[in-house]
Chains A and B, each alone.
Chain A
Amino acid sequence: MASTTYQRFNTRAGRAFDVVNVLLLVAVGLLAVVPFVYVLAGSLATEYEITTRPFFLWPHEITTDSYASILSSDIFLRAFVTTVVVTFVGTLVQLGLTALMAYPLSKVDLPGRRTIMMLVVFAMVFSAGMIPMFLVVKQLGLLDTYWALFLPMAINPFSLIIIKNFFQQLPIELQESATIDGANELQVLRHVVLPLSKPVLATFALFYAVGIWNDYMSPLLYLSDTSKWTLQMILRQVTASAQMSAEDINADVPPPAQGIKFAVVIVATIPVLLAYPFLQKHFAKGMLIGSVKG
């Protein structure tokens, strides 16, 4: 079989295709990251270099002026801390609620299971839209609170169903033996099911965390108090304006007009990129578990 597989590519046209394909895909791979590398280089370049050199991936002269300005800004630091804390707490709440609901739903003999699954699926297909959701958040008194940044989308129906399906295909014997030893369902979940589900939970923790970190719509809709703004709001504010003065961002170090835009983009992205390699190996697998109908 190996020899025929090899033959299949070993024609001249086949080899030519392989070469072109490799070159093409390498180019595609680079295109995916080059814009980001340019911005990274720009964030470390002088104002003069940004405005005079059209394109570069490595600055002639490295300077950390842009970062110094950002780090001396109260507004920016507060937004950074806010975003980190909201993302951390929000991910815990969202993943906790999802896992806690997925586990009972993975028990096929649970009374009322079908009804609740139908509620979940219907919510997935049909959504009332922006304004009714806004009014609910308003009525619950969550406007201008950090709760509004993660509670309204606490359980993603897709994630819930995928995690449920994963729990469902775990061997039942371990859970049974824990029950014989006198464990209640909560203990079974904590000590048997969750440890077996680490890759899946890691995947969805990443999705939830990235969702909160990257969210622009929720703070736009629900936060009018600018002191509560998240990093994405500040990023928008900085990059959309022609020029920032030191007072605008309450910084000790006057911001470089262009350099600060590059630096803010980097700071808003780096945490996501740092988490990516650790979880990357899990998510393709985690994504596909749910495609098994349950």
Chain B
Amino acid sequence: MSTVADVRAAPAAPSPPPAPPRRQRTLGRRMARYKWLFLMMLPGVVYFLLFQYWPMYGAQIAFKDYVPFLGIQGSEWVGLKHFTDFFSNPDFPRLLTNTLILAALGLLVAFPLTIVLALLLNELRLTILKRTVQTLVYIPHFLSWTVVVSLTGLLFAVGTGPLWTALNGIFGTSTDFLTDPDWFRPLILLQTIWKSTGWGTIIFLAALASVDQEQYEAAIIDGAGRWQRTWHITLPAIRPTIVVMLILQTGEILNTGFEQIYLMSNALNRSVADVFDTYVYFTGIEQGAYSYSTAVGLSKAIVGVILIFGTNWLAKRFNQQGIF
């Protein structure tokens, strides 16, 4: 069959894509050869058009006064009205503050902890112990936010929860941690650390495993201590990985994790719990302000894209490898 020759003609190595072989063939005959491949791809392409690109098209209602009865096309254009409404809304500074504080806690506390845990795991010599600890710390990643929030609820349950009893015993108080606004952020951070630190180490452990061992031998001969080896060999070696993960994290700054925040918020802690994600839900789904909430979501997505490209640009300026 002639197809075999074509497949051989295409080198296995990727970029740049090879020129199509046998130019004399008509487009139709080439298509026939790829018929099966196109057919197989069709459902996936339809998925992307329906559930990824149709919503992007629909996002234009952020610039319209969307009336379901009139449809996306029929609704009236209003320009940036919803955006200016949002930015001048008294809720806006509070939402921004809450979102940024939660993001900063994640970036400044949870993210470095992941690297520290990976470094410590890397220093474990006993393979069985290392495997066991890894297996255990990955588990929380697979639990749902509903379960994590329920666990929190049981551990901090007023009167019966072990952590409620312990913490109030230590401080001599009787705080209800689940409704006290002062405790909302610490609890969110605690949950995030518990759920994601272990899983986050995977990528760093892989980077650590590929560090050239001979450098350590050389450093030892030169009399470098453990700390010096970590600082001068290990960390520089995994710096590209750290930078890439940091760029990805930065892009997520405004995505606070809808489920976690939504499930942890209640009537008493709303002042610190409201973030952009939950605000979109409350105004859009519960109050039906579709255009307004789409404008909020769109502002958030655009800032996210700018942040990702911005950090990437910065990383490249400082001679680090970016992701693009």
Contacts and interface: CB of A to CB of B under 8 A. Distances in A.
Interface of A: 1, 4-5, 7-9, 13-14, 17-18, 21-22, 24-26, 28-33, 35-36, 38-39, 42, 50-51, 54-55, 97-98, 100-101, 103-105, 107-111, 113-114, 116, 119-120, 123, 125-136, 140, 151-155, 160, 168, 172, 175-176, 179-180, 182, 184-186, 189, 210, 213-217, 220-221, 232, 235-236, 239-240, 258, 261-262, 264-265, 268-269, 272-273, 276, 280, 284, 287-288, 291, 294
B3 A172 contact: no
Given A4-B220, A104-B37, A108-B10, A152 B51 contact: yes
Nearest to A185: B36
B58 A214 contact: no
A129 B298 contact: yes
Contacts of A103: 37, 40
18 contacts: A31-B194, A55-B162, A101-B41, A111-B20, A123-B52, A126-B305, A130-B277, A131-B285, A131-B294, A132-B297, A176-B7, A176-B8, A179-B7, A180-B4, A215-B144, A269-B147, A284-B206, A291-B206
Contact of B55 (A54, A97, A111, A133): A133
Nearest to B49: A119
Given A32-B198, A287-B202, A186 B36 contact: yes
A105 B42 CA distance: 12
Most buried by B among A127, A151, A168, A261: A127
Interface string B274-298: 0001001100110000100110011
B168 to A, nearest CB: 11
Given A109-B9, A109-B18, A155-B48, 13 more contacts: A25-B121, A28-B137, A35-B194, A54-B166, A104-B38, A109-B6, A132-B58, A133-B55, A134-B284, A152-B51, A185-B37, A216-B263, A221-B281
Interface of B, secondary structure class, is: helix
Q: Bin the interface of chain B by size.
A: 35 or more
B61 A216 contact: no
A194 B161 CA distance: 49
A239 B301 CA distance: 33
Contacts of A235: 146-147, 150
A276 B139 contact: yes
Interface in B1-57: 1, 3-4, 6-12, 14, 17-18, 20-21, 30-31, 34, 36-41, 43-45, 47-48, 50-56
Contacts of B202: 284, 287
A35 B155 contact: yes
Contacts of A22: 124, 126, 129
Interface of B: 1, 3-4, 6-12, 14, 17-18, 20-21, 30-31, 34, 36-41, 43-45, 47-48, 50-56, 58-59, 61, 72, 117, 120-121, 123-126, 129, 132-133, 135-140, 142-147, 149-151, 153-155, 157, 159-162, 165-166, 194, 198, 202-203, 206, 216-217, 220-221, 225-226, 251, 258-259, 262-263, 277, 280-281, 284-285, 290, 293-294, 297-298, 300-301, 305, 308
B71 to A, nearest CB: 9
B162 A54 contact: yes
Given A54-B165, A109-B18, A131-B290, A221 B305 contact: no
Contacts of A236: 146, 149-150, 263
Given A135-B58, A179-B7, A287-B203, A110 B142 contact: no
Contacts of B50: 136, 140
A51 B161 CA distance: 8
B217 A4 contact: yes
Nearest to B169: A54
A195 B136 CA distance: 30
Contacts of A13: 225-226
Contacts of B144: 213-216, 232, 268-269
B146 A186 contact: no
Best-surrounded residue of B55, B129, B139 (most CB of chain A within 10 A)? B55
A5 to B, nearest CB: 8
A294 B40 contact: no
Contacts of B37: 103-104, 107, 110, 185
A232 B146 contact: yes
A167 to B, nearest CB: 12
Contact of A132 (B55, B136, B221): B55
B41, B140, B198, B294, most chain A CB atoms within 10 A: B41
B170 to A, nearest CB: 13
A31 to B, nearest CB: 7
